[in-house]
């Protein structure tokens, strides 16, 4: 028996909008730790890891570890039927091939349940060890989204370089090239507007902008984004999901042929 | 030319 009640149902709606462009089908795993997902895009270039900790739910019952295969476009269709202020409850019986999404309006005057078929998905699960990153950049998520969008009108790839001067996003294309430098800026009115750069050593890596733009679909989840970089490792682009977890996007770099 | 690496070349399959 599985029963997860999330008072801030809009978080789940935003999570689905953040990942459904990157991943088509995925297994949602439920355990005592929480509700999680790990999936790669169809090209195996990017990976998304979601964790919503059990403590973040108002009610969390998961009698045994359960993996539920879902088409994310179909989940998104279901969740779009929930109001932004609705409480969302996920229910599944042991051995069932369906999951039920229950939506309750805040004043309890409307209760809806949507049942969705589950599917069998063969997914490859990767072990991702904790890594020491050469540079970690924390910046406003809207600023990062704007930079990725702007650069993708010029080129297909972005070079992200971190030095003691700041973090530089560069691209080049047929019409020209572009460089955007963000310096560390902690003298702002609100902490979420700060750009904070922790650098152990300079790093410069090249990534496909198409994927970066896809990651920025998570922008509504968090005011800030954290970008962790190490030479010849995938970049990690992390958005916090309130105080209950995170979405992490991993993207493999491009290297010289 | 830049070669696109794949994510599975960095991490072990579990």
A249 with A144: CB under 8 angstroms?
no
- Helix, strand, coil tally for chain A in percent (to 5): 20, 45, 35
Q: Which of B1, B3, B5, B13 to mutate to test the interface with A (most CBs of A within 10 A)?
A: B5
User: Which has more pLDDT, A158 or A186?
Assistant: A158
pLDDT of residue A123: 84
> Pairing between strand A157-163 and A126-127?
unpaired
Confidence of residue B1 (pLDDT cuts 50, 70, 90): confident
Strand bridging mode A25-30 / A2-6: unpaired
C-alpha span between A248 and A241 (Å, rounded): 10
pLDDT at residue A172, rounded to an integer: 97
Contacts of A248 (CB under 8 A, 6+ apart): A48, A49, A50, A236, A237, A238
pLDDT of residue A35: 98
Instruction: For residues A21-46, give the mean pLDDT.
Output: 97
Which ipTM was obtained for this model? Answer: 0.96
Tokens encoding A249: 């996007």
Nearest 10 degrees: Cα torsion A81, A13, A189, A137: -160
A228: contact with B, CB 8 A cutoff: no
pLDDT at A44 over 80: yes
pLDDT the model gives residue A187 = 87
The residue whose two tokens read 């924390």 is A138
Whether the pLDDT of residue A83 is over 90: the answer is yes
Q: Which two tokens stand for residue A245?
A: 């977890």
- When pLDDT is cut at 50, 70 and 90, the band that residue A256 belongs to is confident
User: What is the pLDDT, as a whole number, of residue A7?
Assistant: 97
At residue A197's C-alpha, the angle toward residues A192 and A199, to 5°, is 155
- The tokens 């779009």 sit on which residue? A80
Report the gap between the CA of B9 and the closest CA in chain A (Å): 9
- State whether residue A175 sits within 8 Å of chain B by CB: no
Give the pLDDT confidence score for residue A74 in this predicted structure.
97
Q: Please name every residue paired with A158 in a beta bridge, in sequence order, or none if there are none.
A: A207
């Amino acid at each position: 028996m599985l029963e997860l009640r999330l008072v801030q149902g809009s978080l789940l709606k935003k999570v689905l909008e953040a990942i459904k462009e990157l991943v088509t089908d995925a297994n949602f795993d439920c355990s005592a730790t929480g509700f999680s997902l790990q999936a790669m895009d169809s090209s195996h270039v990017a990976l998304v890891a979601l964790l919503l900790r059990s403590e973040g739910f108002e009610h969390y019952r998961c009698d045994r570890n359960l993996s539920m295969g879902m088409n994310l476009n179909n989940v998104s269709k279901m969740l779009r039927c929930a109001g932004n202020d609705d409480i969302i409850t996920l229910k599944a019986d042991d051995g069932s091939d369906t999951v039920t999404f229950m939506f309750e309006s805040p004043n309890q005057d409307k209760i809806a349940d949507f049942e969705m078929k589950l599917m069998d998905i063969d997914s490859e699960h990767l072990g991702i060890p904790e890594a020491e990153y050469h540079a970690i950049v924390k910046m406003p998520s809207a600023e990062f989204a704007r930079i990725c969008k702007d650069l993708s009108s010029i080129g297909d790839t972005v070079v992200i370089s971190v030095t003691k001067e700041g973090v530089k996003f560069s691209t080049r294309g047929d019409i020209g090239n572009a460089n955007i430098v963000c310096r560390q800026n902690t003298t702002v009115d609100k902490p979420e507007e700060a750009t904070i750069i922790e650098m152990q050593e300079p790093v410069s890596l090249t990534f496909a902008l198409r994927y970066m733009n896809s990651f920025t679909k998570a922008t509504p989840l968090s005011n800030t984004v954290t970008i962790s970089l190490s030479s010849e490792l995938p970049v990690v682009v992390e958005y916090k999901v309130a105080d209950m977890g995170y979405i992490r996007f991993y993207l493999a770099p491009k290297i010289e042929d | 030319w830049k070669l696109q690496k794949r994510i599975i070349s960095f991490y072990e399959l579990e």
